[in-house]
Structure 1
C-alpha cells in the first residue's frame, strides 16, 4: 500500500507537468511541435476580426463551462459562423425578427432582444437547447446545429465545419 505523502508528491508533480505542458488547459500536451499546438497559440490564418475572435472565445468558453466538450463547441461555432459570421451586432435576419450570434427570434422562447444579442447569454441558450437534442453527439455537426437552429437552409452549416474546428482548436487552449 502506498503512503499518503508519496501520492501527494506524485500528484503535485503531475500538476506541475500539466501546467508546464498546457495539459491543464485542455491543450494536447504531446503536440508541442504540431499544428495543434500552434493553433493553441496563434489565431493567424483564421481570418477573424477582434470582435469575431472574442465571440468565438465566448462560445467555446460557454461550451466548456456547460460540459458540452469540443464537439459541442464546434457545433456552436458552426452555427454562429453561418448565422452571423460571429458578429453579435449583425443586422436582424429573418425579416427583422432574428438577432445576435445565432440569429435567435426574440420573444418568449429565446428571450428579449437584449438577451439574444448578448454573446454569453445567446451561447448559453444555444447549448441548453443542443443538450435537449437526443443523440446530438452521434449525429453530424451540421445536423446537430440544424436541430437547434431549425433553418430554412438545413445543410448550410456543413460548409462551416472546417473553419469551426480550427477556431475551436485555437480558442480551446
Structure 2
C-alpha cells in the first residue's frame, strides 16, 4: 500500500510539474506573438518532449486579437497571476488497448486539471485539431487520452 501511495504521489507531482511547464510555454508564446505580428504558426516543446503547445490559423488569430491588442499592463498582470487548478481528477488504467495505433500501454495515469474560467470547455479535450504535425509518439499519447476520456470516464476520481 505504501508503494502505491508513493507512486501515486510521484505521478501527481509530475502532473503539477507539467502544469507549471504549460504555464511557462503559454507565457513564452505570448511574448513570441507580441514580437512577431506576422507569425502564422507557433509550436513550443521542451527538449524531453514531455509537452507541446501549438497554435495556428484561427486559434493563433484569437490569441493575437485577445492578448496582443490588449493594453500591455493588462497582459503583464494576467501573465503574473498564479494559476491554480479549479479541480483535479485522476484516472489509472492498468492496461490500455489503443485500437487505432494497435499500441498497448501499461500503468497509464491521466491527471486532468481544470483551470478557472475553463469549466465550460471540457469538450475541447475531445475536439483536438489534427493538423498533421504530430509524430507517431505524440499521436499515441493523443489516442491514449481520447481513449481514456471516451471509455474510462467512470474511473476518474476527483482529487481537488
Give the structure-2-normalised TM-score: 0.28
TM-score normalized by the length of structure 1: 0.27
The answer to which structure has the higher strand fraction is 2
> Which structure would you say has the larger RCO, counting Cα contacts within 8 Å and 6 or more residues apart?
1
Q: Which has the higher helix share?
A: 1
